Amino acid sequence: MKQMNDTFLRAARGEKTDYTPVWYMRQAGRSQPEYRKIKEKYSLFEITHQPELCAYVTRLPVEQYDVDAAILYKDIMSPLPSIGVDVEIKSGIGPVIDNPIRTTADVEKLGEINPEQDVPYVLDTIKLLTKEQLSVPLIGFAGAPFTMASYMIEGGPSKNYNKTKAFMYAEPQAWFALMDKLAAMTITYAKAQIKAGASAFQIFDSWVGALNVQDYRTFIKPVMERIFNELKEESVPLIMFGVGASHLANEWHDLPIDVVGLDWRLPINEARERGISKTVMGNLDPAILLAPWDVIEEKAKEILDQGIELPGHIFNLGHGVFPQVNPDTLKRLAAFVHEYSAR
């Protein structure tokens, strides 16, 4: 095992660090030529089913960019087939589900996950990375119940989540039954990743920004409290993140988590003024990575200046890396974050 750089973990726990740690959402793959070559031969699910190959893709950005954490290469859809959801990732579309949830009976049909049996390749990849290959912490992750439910009800990606919200309002009993099933899946799946060696865990509620605060409190917050209360026992930093959900940042802050992920819409100083005192993660607009370097540097400085006012900032993007981003830009930005914040 290599000597561990634990800066990311210490920042996640709100401790003082020598510099601001950095990692990038969707850092594994997409913009890397080595990854694109692999994708010519294998689909996303095929890569994740081969632990050696998946570990290589996960580790690549750590070696190339000198980031302070790795995030497991996989999709939030990975656990769904094990509970009886027929999902396929279609190129240019995203996840497509052939048996969408429409009734209480559909919810009742859903099974339970047994990670050792159903997703052994995920656990084998984690073991491979954490026992032999990484010198930085590995972040495990899962999709949150609302986001998973949105794909399961809509049958695929959506712009407005009308079917999901209609189901939530019209069938509250079925909705809460679905939330319970997805919470159980998330907890079991997360605990298995942590047991295998993940040293932090992130929940992506990518699309929950579609809900207002009141609906979040009624239909989502109780299930998130259950998930995080269970995961708290694992003693690893817990991170919450979603896009277009700045109005929910204080709701997340109330949850038993360590890190509140911010997208680019909510500046760190504004989040602090709103009473968010936990570690924050973010939040450069990923589109800025396509701008000239002096623009990127200026924007990164602004974020770092706000982040270093209190202990507890992890530099990241406000969402994932675009495929068009030059890997050299990410490497240069990671070096800049380290140097500037260490002064």
Distance CA 255, CA 95 (A): 29
Kindly indicate the confidence band of residue 90, based on its pLDDT and cuts at 50, 70 and 90: confident
Distance CA 233, CA 227 (A): 11
pLDDT at 3 over 90: no
Q: Within the chain, where are the H helices?
A: 7-12, 33-41, 44-48, 51-65, 104-109, 115-118, 120-128, 145-154, 162-170, 172-196, 213-215, 221-232, 249-254, 268-273, 293-307, 327-342
pLDDT reported for residue 228: 98
pLDDT at 207 over 70: yes
Q: Which of 50, 118, 110 is nearest to 78 (CA)?
A: 118
Give the position of tokens 């939040």.
Answer: 283
For 21, phi then psi, to 5°, come to -70, 155
Long-range (24+ apart) CB contacts under 8 A made by 322-329 are: 322/30, 322/31, 322/286, 322/287, 322/289, 322/290, 323/30, 323/31, 324/31, 324/290, 325/30, 325/31, 325/286, 325/289, 325/290, 326/31, 327/31, 327/32, 327/33, 327/64, 327/65, 329/289, 329/293, 329/296
pLDDT at 174 over 70: yes
The whole-number average pLDDT for the span 162-171 is: 97
Model pTM score: 0.97
pLDDT at 1 over 60: no
Question: Residue 254's Cα: distance from chain center in Å?
Answer: 19
Please tell me whether residue 22 adopts helix, strand or coil conformation: strand
Instruction: Identify the residue with better confidence: 324 or 132.
Output: 324
Other beta carbons within 10 angstroms of residue 157's beta carbon come to 14
Q: To the nearest whole percent, how much of the chain has pLDDT over 70? A: 99
pLDDT tens-digit map of 110-145: 999 999 999 999 999 999 999 989 999 999 999 999
Instruction: Identify the residue with better confidence: 45 or 178.
Output: 178
pLDDT reported for residue 2: 64
pLDDT reported for residue 92: 82
- Judge if the upstream peptide bond of residue 162 is cis by omega within 30 degrees of 0: no
pLDDT tens-digit map of 12-26: 999 999 999 999 999
9 contacts: CB under 8 Å, gap ≥ 6: 137, 199, 200, 237
Kindly indicate the confidence band of residue 89, based on its pLDDT and cuts at 50, 70 and 90: confident
pLDDT tens-digit map of 258-304: 999 999 999 999 999 999 999 999 999 999 999 999 999 999 999 99
For 96, phi then psi, to 5°, come to -125, 130
The whole-number average pLDDT for the span 195-216 is: 97
Question: Residue 110's Cα: distance from chain center in Å?
Answer: 24
pLDDT reported for residue 29: 82
For 223, phi then psi, to 5°, come to -70, -35
Task: Decide if domain 7-342 falls under CATH 3.30.1360.120.
Answer: no
The whole-number average pLDDT for the span 92-104 is: 92
Distance CA 256, CA 229 (A): 6
190 contacts: CB under 8 Å, gap ≥ 6: 140, 142, 201, 227, 231, 234
171 contacts: CB under 8 Å, gap ≥ 6: 103, 104
Instruction: Identify the residue with better confidence: 148 or 1.
Output: 148
Per-domain residue ranges of the chain: 7-342
The whole-number average pLDDT for the span 320-339 is: 97
